[in-house]
Each structure stands twice: as structure tokens, then as C-alpha cells.
Copies of this chain bind each other. A is one copy, B any other.
Amino acid sequence: MQLASLHQHIKQRLDASLQDLINDLPDAAPRLKESMLYALTNGGKRMRPLLVHLVGNMLDIPDNDQRAISMAIECIHAYSLVHDDLPAMDDDELRRGNPTCHIAFDEATAILAGDALQTQAFSIVAEHPMSAFADQRRAQLVAVLARAAGYSGMCGGQAIDLAATGKQITLTELQHLHQLKTGALLTACVEMVCLVTEQLDSNHQQLLCCFANRIGLAFQVQDDILDVTASTETLGKPKGSDEARGKNTFPSLLGLDGARQELAKLHQEALQALDGLPYNTDYLVAFTDLMVSRSH
């Protein structure tokens, strides 16, 4: 199967699982429930679940485990987007071509939807059906997910990003910021899969985490490049918005050519990490290519 078809398949299956997850909640707070579903199924590319699936299949972990990890990761990802879009944060009205959660609902509901989605992620890791082996690792899975999502990961990255907006920072600082803001959760996808793999060489785990780290950064560099070069229609959000709000980006620090070189470097490093693995990494190579060449 081509990666694109596989991606489509994973996306459809996960969308259905996430819909079931929210539909199964009681109806006590219908507007909150609706906003959680909206945030979770608002046309996301499901890059993280695809990564979980590709690494999970490569390491032969059961479907159930892949699904639980993907659902939890997507709940964290969706919550972070809802909160990042709020007026007090990035103040975005469009996301993937649709109104952001606080526009489609209201600000209070969006704050609560984000809050409840974060909690939901930990519920999934703690309780969603998983294999007997993964069941023994739930606490460690929670620990990995919390480290990636919290102060020392995504939340911290967003705080550093806000503090750096309108100021000039160094390339190292920008890389660190994105390693926390985007990279931590992508790396957690791989770490969580590794945690539920029964036998895994620690060197190979390290290579996989290095790979995730490089594609996490590459993803962000490509995001920054697209913000400069793509059309608003393709992006599903206003182009040039990074510059307009004084965000530090790879093109603003390195120029567009410099950013493209940085992207090529990260691409190579990701492929090198894969090279060291004794598995068939064809899909992961294709995934890496997709991450750096995507047009939206």
C-alpha cells in the first residue's frame, strides 16, 4: 500500500474512534461535548497517529495499543490547538479552513473543551483497552505523555514562544522552543510505542527517538516556510501570519534559502537515524519525505 492510502486509512479509522470516544460520554454538558468533538475532528492531518502506526507496525505492537496511544496523543494535540488559538494566546479565527473552537462556540467553552480534552488523554492511557503487556506499562505511558505535554514539553514551549514574540532570539533558542512546543509530543509518539514493545534494543530506541526529534523540527521548519510561500487557501489559515505578529521563525532568522537548507539537513539526519535500524523502514522514509515536502 502507498503511504498516502495508508495515511487515509489510518485517518478514517482514528476519526471514527475519536468520534465514538466523545459520543460515548454522557450528555450532561452537551455544548462542552459538542465542542470537544469539534476540536478533535476539525480536519486534522493525523500525522502523529500515522507516525504511531508506522513505528508500531514496524515494532509489531498490537492494534489496540496503537489506537490508545494515537487517541491520547490526538487529545493532547487538539487541546493545545484550541488553547493556542484563544484571543489571549495566538488569537486565530481559522484553523484548517474552519472557524477555531472559540469562534465556533465561545471562549469559555473553548477553554473548558481544551481542559477536558487534556484530561481525556490521560483517561485513555489509564483505561482504554490495551494489550496485557501494555496494560502493565500504563503508569509509564502516563509519565511519558505528561512530560511531553507539560511544563518541560509542549506547555513550556508555548510559554517560551509567547515570551519570544516580538524579540530577536538565536537559532539555538528557536530550535529549543520548537523541540518543546512541537518536538516533545512527536517524540512521545515514538517513546510510547517503544514502551509497549516487548523487546527492543536500547540503541534502536535511541535512534527512533532521534528520528522523531529531527522530523519534529523539520515539520516546524516546513510550517514556517509554508507560512511565507503558500497561499492562504492552501494553508487553511491566513498566510504571513507569523511575520505579522512578530513570531520568530526559521525564515525570519535564516532567510528562506537558509530555512530550506536547515530543512534539508534535518531531513538527512532523520534518514540517517533510520539507516541504523535493522527493520524495514521504507514507510518511515516515505513519511519523512512527506513531512518535508508537504504543501499544507
- Taking Cβ atoms with an 8 Å cutoff, the residues of A that contact B are 25-26, 28-29, 31-33, 36, 79, 83, 86, 88-89, 106-109, 111-112, 114-116, 118-120, 122-123, 125-127, 135, 138-140, 142-143, 145-147, 149-152, 155-156, 158-160, 162-163, 176, 180
Contacts and interface: CB of A to CB of B under 8 A. Distances in A.
Chain A binding surface, main DSSP class: helix
A50 B79 CA distance: 32
A21 B139 CA distance: 19
24 contacts: A28-B152, A28-B176, A29-B155, A29-B159, A29-B160, A31-B159, A32-B151, A32-B156, A83-B112, A86-B111, A88-B111, A109-B162, A112-B159, A115-B115, A116-B150, A118-B118, A118-B119, A122-B145, A123-B146, A125-B142, A126-B146, A135-B139, A138-B139, A139-B142
Contact of A116 (B25, B120, B151): B151
Nearest to A90: B108
Q: How many monomers of this protein are in the complex?
A: 2
Interface centre among A26, A88, A180 (most CB of B within 10 A): A88
B116 A115 contact: no
Contacts of A146: 119-120, 122-123, 126-127
A153 B88 CA distance: 26
A15 to B, nearest CB: 19
Of A138, A146, A150, A151, chain B has the most CB atoms within 10 Å of the CB of: A151
A135 B83 CA distance: 33
Contact of A28 (B26, B109, B116, B160): B160
Q: Which of A32, A33, A139, A147 has the most CB of B within 10 A?
A: A139
